[in-house]
C-alpha cells in the first residue's frame, strides 16, 4: 500500500492490471496479526496461519509499523490515491475480492491474466447445477446460496413468480405453466436474463438450476454473456430418483412435505391430508428422466470441464463436496468425478 504515481501507469503502458481489494476492517485485522520468523523471514498470522512448531513460535516477532494507528494511516493514504490510479488505467484494470482464501485469489488472478476477454467486474461465483429430477438440485442451490450469500436462481420458480405477478409477460407464459408444457426458450431466456442482469446477481454471484436443459439453451445463455465458472452434474441412479420423487407427498393443510420411506406422515390423520403432486407420477418422472438423459452428454461436452458429484448420499455430504470445489481452484482435468 505504498505511494503510487498515477502518471507512471500511463507512461509504462501496462496491458493488464489487477486490483486486490478488501474491506478496511479485514485489512486492519490481517496487518495487526502479522508475525515474522526472524530466522527464515517467513510471515505468519496469529489467526490465519499460526505455526504448529513451538520452536518456530518462539522465533516470531511483531514487525515494525503495524500498529492499528499506523495501519489505518496507510490505508487512508492508499484510498486517497487509488481513484487517480484507477482513472489512469481506464478500463484496463480488474478488481478481485481479496477477502477470501489466498489460493482462490491466485486462481482468479491467473484466470484473468490468461483470458483473452477481460472484464472490469469483480469476481463473483457463477454456478450451474445440472442433474436428473430427484438429484437434489434445489436443496444444494439453497445451501450454496445461504453459505456464500449469492442469489439462488431457480428457472421454475422465476416462471411461477412471473405468472403470480400477473404482468404482461406472466400472462403470456401462464398457459404453458398451468398446463405443465415447456415454455418457449425465447420466453424463458427473457425471464432468466432479467433476473441475472440485476445488481445482486452481478455483484454477489448466482447459483442456477433448472436451466439450461439442453445445448441450444446453453448456447443462448452463453451468447447473452452469462457464463458459469463452476458447472456441477449431480448424479443419481434412475431407480433412486424415482424412489425419491414418486413417494413424496405434501400435507394440504400445513404444507409440510413427507416421504413414504424417509419421512412418513406422523399419523393416519395427517396421511389423509397428504397428496402426491401430479408431476411426481411414475409416468411423468420417467418422461423427465428420458429428457434429461437425451441431453446430458451434449451438455457435458458443451461445459467441459465439468464436475460430477455422487448425489446418491446424504445431502450434507453432497454439499461438502460441492463446497470444496467452489472454494478451491477448478482442476484442469476434464470431467472430474467426485
Residues 6 or more apart whose Cβ sits within 8 Å of residue 328: 103, 104
Beta bridge partners of 97: 21
Q: Which architecture characterizes domain 126-337 according to CATH?
A: 3-Layer(aba) Sandwich (3.40)
**CA distances, 304 to each of 106, 167, 295, 308, 335 (Å):** 22, 37, 14, 11, 7
For the chain, percent of residues with pLDDT exceeding 90: 34
Provide the b/e sequence for 260-271 (b: ≥16 CB within 10 Å): eeeeebeeeeee
What pLDDT, on a 0 to 100 scale, did the predictor assign at position 334? 44
> Could you report the per-residue pLDDT of 105-138, keeping only the tens digit for each?
787 777 766 654 433 333 578 999 999 999 999 9
Rounded average pLDDT over 227-237: 93
pTM of the model: 0.60
Rounded average pLDDT over 164-191: 89
Question: DSSP string of 127-148?
Answer: EEEE--TTS-HHHHHHHHHHHH
Provide the b/e sequence for 59-75 (b: ≥16 CB within 10 Å): bbeeeeebeeeebeebe
Residues 6 or more apart whose Cβ sits within 8 Å of residue 106: 329
- What torsion, rounded to 10 degrees, do the Cα atoms 320, 323, 328, 333 define? 80
Is the pLDDT score of 331 beyond 60?
no
> Could you report the per-residue pLDDT of 58-92, keeping only the tens digit for each?
888 888 888 888 888 888 888 787 777 666 665 56
Longest dimension (CA), the chain: 80
CA-CA distance, 35 to 32, in Å (whole number)? 9
Nearest residue to 97 (alpha-carbon basis) of 169, 21, 45, 152:
21
Name which residue leads in pLDDT, 120 or 267.
267
Is the pLDDT score of 196 beyond 50?
yes
304 close to 336: Cβ distance less than 8 angstroms: no
Is the pLDDT score of 174 beyond 50?
yes
pLDDT band at 96 (very low <50, low <70, confident <90, very high): confident
Nearest residue to 325 (alpha-carbon basis) of 202, 231, 234, 201:
231
Nearest residue to 207 (alpha-carbon basis) of 139, 262, 115, 300:
139
Residue extents of the structural domains in the chain: 6-32+61-114, 126-337
CA-CA distance, 328 to 308, in Å (whole number)? 15
| Range of weakest confidence among 96-100, 112-116, 210-214, 285-289 | 112-116
Amino acid at each position: 500500500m505504498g505511494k503510487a504515481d498515477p502518471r507512471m501507469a500511463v507512461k509504462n503502458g501496462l496491458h493488464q492490471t489487477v486490483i486486490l481489494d478488501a474491506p478496511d476492517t479485514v485489512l486492519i485485522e490481517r496487518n495487526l496479526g502479522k508475525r515474522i520468523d526472524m530466522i527464515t523471514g517467513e510471515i505468519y498470522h496469529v489467526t490465519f496461519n499460526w505455526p504448529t512448531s513451538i520452536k518456530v513460535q518462539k522465533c516470531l516477532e511483531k514487525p515494525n509499523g503495524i500498529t492499528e494507528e499506523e495501519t489505518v494511516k496507510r490505508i487512508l493514504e492508499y484510498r486517497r490515491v487509488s481513484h487517480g490510479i484507477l482513472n489512469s488505467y481506464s478500463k484496463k484494470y480488474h478488481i478481485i475480492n481479496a477477502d477470501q482464501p489466498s489460493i482462490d485469489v491466485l486462481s482468479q488472478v491467473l484466470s484473468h491474466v490468461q483470458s483473452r476477454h477481460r472484464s472490469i467486474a469483480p469476481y463473483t461465483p457463477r454456478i450451474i447445477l445440472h442433474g436428473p429430477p430427484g438429484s437434489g438440485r434445489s436443496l444444494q442451490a439453497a445451501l450454496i446460496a445461504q453459505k456464500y450469500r449469492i442469489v439462488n436462481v431457480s428457472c421454475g420458480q422465476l416462471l411461477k413468480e412471473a405468472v403470480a405477478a400477473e404482468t404482461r409477460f406472466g400472462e403470456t407464459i401462464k398457459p404453458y405453466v398451468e398446463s405443465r408444457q415447456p415454455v418457449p426458450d425465447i420466453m424463458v431466456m427473457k425471464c432468466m436474463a432479467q433476473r441475472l442482469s440485476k445488481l445482486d446477481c452481478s455483484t454477489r454471484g448466482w447459483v442456477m438450476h433448472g436451466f439450461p436443459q439442453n445445448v441450444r439453451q446453453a448456447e443462448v445463455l452463453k451468447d447473452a454473456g452469462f457464463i458459469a465458472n463452476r458447472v456441477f452434474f449431480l448424479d443419481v441412479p434412475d431407480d433412486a430418483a424415482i424412489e425419491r420423487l414418486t413417494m413424496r407427498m405434501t400435507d394440504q393443510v400445513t404444507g409440510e412435505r413427507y416421504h413414504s420411506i424417509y419421512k412418513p406422515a406422523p399419523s393416519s390423520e395427517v396421511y389423509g391430508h397428504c397428496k402426491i403432486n401430479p408431476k411426481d407420477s411414475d409416468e411423468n418422472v420417467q418422461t423427465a428422466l428420458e429428457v434429461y438423459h437425451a441431453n446430458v452428454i451434449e451438455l457435458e461436452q458443451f461445459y467441459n470441464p465439468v464436475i460430477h458429484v455422487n448425489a446418491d448420499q446424504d445431502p450434507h455430504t453432497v454439499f461438502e463436496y460441492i463446497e470444496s470445489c467452489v472454494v478451491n481452484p477448478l482442476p484442469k482435468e476434464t470431467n472430474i468425478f467426485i
